[in-house]
Amino acid sequence: MAEIQIPDAADVQARLLKGPYHQWLGLEVLSVGKGEIKIQARFRDEWIVNVAGGYIHGGILAALVDLTADWSLVAYTGKGVPTLDLRVDYHRPARGNLTAVGQVIKIGKQFSSAEARIYDSEGALVASGRGLYSTATA
Q: 6 or 42, which is more confident?
A: 42
pLDDT category of residue 8 using cuts at 50, 70 and 90: confident
Q: What b/e sequence results for 124-135 when a residue is b if at least 16 CB atoms lie within 10 Å of its CB, and e otherwise?
A: eebbbbbbbbeb
What is the C-alpha separation between 25 and 3, in angstroms, rounded?
33
**15-56 pLDDT, tens per residue?**
989 999 999 999 999 999 999 999 999 999 999 998 999 999
Residue 1 has pLDDT above 50, yes or no: no
Ordered structural domains, the chain, with CATH = 9-134 (3.10.129.10)
Report the DSSP pairing between strands 55-56 and 98-106.
unpaired
The helix/strand/coil state of 125 is strand
Report the DSSP pairing between strands 98-106 and 27-33.
unpaired
